Amino acid sequence: MPGGLRPGFFMSRFSFPMILIVISLSIPKWAQSQVIVSIPPQKHFIEQIAGDQVQAEVMLTPGESPETFSPSPRQLTRLAKARVYIHIGVPFERHWTKSLQAMNPDMKIIHCCNQFDEVTKRLHQGDVHYWTDPVFVIQYLETILNVLIELQPENQDLFQSNLQAYQESLRQLDNYIIGQLKNLKMDHFIISHAALDAFAQRYGLVQLSIEQSGRESGPKNLISIMTSAKAKGIKTIFDLEQHHTRTVINLANQLGANIVSLDPLAQDYFTNMYEMTEQLLVALGKNE
């Protein structure tokens, strides 16, 4: 016997219910999930509508970027148990949807953003951060609602009333942002990756992205950013953890600018949108 254990040791030390608990703990958490989503804000959206009635699992591992993320084979195996995968238009969905569907032909894929603004999509080479626009989210929640009702028709009334309350909060958020971003000193801002594209488009701001199409900036782009920054007196560079590079630091040094962290992937979407608006407001300044 390895370790000199007596026969029957495990049965005598671990009772039957204990064994059941161990077995249930060993079933991967993902296997119990019904819905897979790509990024943390989507989990928040589902929770707002379904509370704890539906389990959603986020595909993106914390700290990874939606532009380059690859799930591990283990993660893909876990995904094979989900009933639905709701997209939000991030680049890794394009690469992994076929593999997932091959492993789990019964899993329904809900494509989110085909109907939204083909021009914007082409301009950003398929990397549009739609969810940073609350008006997009108000509409997108209808897609989520339909999926949830299909999963749990008995909860339709609950889901619908939750949806309406959350959409109302998002309308208030939209109005708040419009009010806050009125009468600004500047309308240009610098960011390490173009993650506020949809936000900037919605609220009439100009985003100068250090990365272009997910690649390090070339000299031409950097010179153009520097020229604009000097002309407009930009003193802030917004930085995303996943896109923090030497170029961000060098540019900040050359402009005498502060580096301010943003996280458009934060799960608490609602609070985060208020916080990002405040950070933009400080950087852009308000005319009194």
Identity of residue 234: I
- Yes or no: say if 167 and 141 are a contact pair by the CB < 8 Å rule: yes
DSSP state of 174: H
Contacts of 208 (CB under 8 A, 6+ apart): 188, 189, 190, 191, 224, 225, 228, 229
Helix (H, G, I), strand (E, B) or coil at 237: strand
CB of 66 to Zn ion, least distance (A): 6
CB of 199 to Zn ion, least distance (A): 13
Q: Of 127 and 174, which CB lies nearer to Zn ion in the complex structure?
A: 127
Helix (H, G, I), strand (E, B) or coil at 182: coil
CB of 132 to Zn ion, least distance (A): 10
Helix (H, G, I), strand (E, B) or coil at 66: coil
CB of 230 to Zn ion, least distance (A): 27
Q: Of 67 and 239, which CB lies nearer to Zn ion in the complex structure?
A: 67
**Which residues of the chain form contacts with Zn ion (CB under 5 A)?**
67, 127
215-251 burial, b for 16+ CB within 10 Å, e for fewer? eebeeebbeebbeebeebebebbbbbebbeeebbeeb
Q: Of 50 and 66, which CB lies nearer to Zn ion in the complex structure?
A: 66
CB of 209 to Zn ion, least distance (A): 9
User: Could you identify the residue written with the tokens 């016997």?
Assistant: 1
CB of 136 to Zn ion, least distance (A): 15
CB of 127 to Zn ion, least distance (A): 4
Q: Of 127 and 239, which CB lies nearer to Zn ion in the complex structure?
A: 127
CB of 112 to Zn ion, least distance (A): 15
Helix (H) or strand (E) holding 29: none
Identity of residue 12: S
Q: How far is residue 153's CA from residue 257's CA, in Å, rounded to a whole number?
A: 53
Q: Of 57 and 67, which CB lies nearer to Zn ion in the complex structure?
A: 67
CB-based closest residue to Zn ion: 127
Count of all residues that appear for the chain in the document: 288
Q: Of 4 and 62, which CB lies nearer to Zn ion in the complex structure?
A: 62
Q: Of 67 and 174, which CB lies nearer to Zn ion in the complex structure?
A: 67
| Both tokens assigned to 262 | 């943003």
Contacts of 205 (CB under 8 A, 6+ apart): 181, 187, 188, 189, 196, 199, 280, 284
Q: Of 43 and 129, which CB lies nearer to Zn ion in the complex structure?
A: 129
Q: Among 98, 110, 127, 120, which residue's Cα sits nearest to residue 46?
A: 110
